[in-house]
Amino acid sequence: MQRHLTPLDHFIINADRSLNTLFGETRTSDRAYPAADKTSDTLSESEQQHAAGLMRINHAGEVAAQGLYQGQALTAKLPEVRQQMEHAAAEENDHLDWCNRRLQELQSHTSHLSPLWYSGSFALGALAGLAGDKWSLGFVAETEKQVVKHLEGHFTSLPEEDQRSLAILQQMQADESQHAQAAVEAGGAELPWPVRKLMGLTSEIMTRTAYKW
Ligand SMILES: [Fe+2]
Ligand SMILES: [Fe+2]
């Protein structure tokens, strides 16, 4: 029998997840590392730095995704919605782990501003959850759509030889596209244009900042 979780239980679960996202080992699924059978060993130093900048952006995006999903899970009303958010958040753990691993391979680091990306997104997610499930799901759908588009840009911006990063981003894109579709099918409404625009601008700022920091 499933135990009923109180708001305090949810709070503690979320706090634990937040700490794991920021400081700990992430709990991943048993999917294989997409880069495992790819090579990228001919990168020049500047190419390696550029690839690391891009992967740092994607890692920051995944930290933000964790914040969004976990914030929403805290305030979403319908149990199915909450469950769906948590399922997607679990899949994002793989992405977080893969980006982290690739950054280590590129001898680089994750964004120093991760706590900021996480807390800002957590607040946004919680707000979206409070706005009601159709908006909350619409917010997920729009976020994921924007990420799919953003990843498309990285496919061409990555150094051509960096097949390892590419394999990771391709798998991530396939997952994000599924998350978007699932959110629409679950009843996500299309967000008003100003909100979509604002979301785009926010991720633009994050993208520019996380490339370096
Ligand atoms: Fe993701
Ligand atoms: Fe996603």
Of the listed ligands, the closest to the CA of 69 is 2
The first and second tokens of residue 203, run together, are: 């991720």
- Distance (angstroms) between ligand 1 centre and the Cα of 169 equals 9
User: In degrees to the nearest 10, what's the CA dihedral of 134, 139, 140, 143?
Assistant: 160
- Distance (angstroms) between ligand 2 centre and the Cα of 92 equals 6
Can you tell me the distance from the alpha carbon of 121 to that of 125, in angstroms, rounded to the nearest whole number?
Answer: 6
Measured in whole angstroms, the distance separating CA 39 from the mean position of its chain's CA atoms is 25
What does residue 20 show for φ and ψ, rounded to 5 degrees? -65, -40
Cβ 66 vs Cβ 89: under 8 Å: yes
Identity at 28, one-letter amino acid code:
T
Measured in whole angstroms, the distance separating CA 212 from the mean position of its chain's CA atoms is 18
Protein residues within 5 Å, CB atom, of ion ligand 2 = 176, 179
Can you tell me the distance from the alpha carbon of 78 to that of 186, in angstroms, rounded to the nearest whole number?
Answer: 11
pTM: 0.83
- Distance (angstroms) between ligand 1 centre and the Cα of 131 equals 23
Instruction: Encode the chain (213 residues) as per-residue pLDDT tens digits.
Output: 456 666 556 555 566 665 566 555 556 667 889 999 888 778 899 999 999 999 999 999 999 988 888 888 888 777 776 676 667 777 888 999 999 999 999 999 999 999 999 999 999 889 888 888 888 889 889 999 999 999 999 999 999 999 999 999 999 999 999 999 988 988 899 999 998 998 889 888 999 999 999
Q: What is the 3-state secondary structure (H, E, C) of 5-38?
A: CCHHHHHHHHHHHHHHHHHCCCCCCCCCCCCCCC
- The pLDDT of residue 103 is 95
- The pLDDT of residue 151 is 95
User: Residue 147: which of 125, 117, 178, 123 has the closest Cα?
Assistant: 178
Q: In angstroms, what CA-CA distances link 60 with 44, 78, 80, 147?
A: 24, 29, 28, 12
Cβ 15 vs Cβ 75: under 8 Å: no
- Distance (angstroms) between ligand 1 centre and the Cα of 1 equals 31
- Distance (angstroms) between ligand 2 centre and the Cα of 136 equals 14
- The pLDDT of residue 85 is 66
Q: What angle do CA 42, 61, 155 make, to 5 degrees?
A: 40
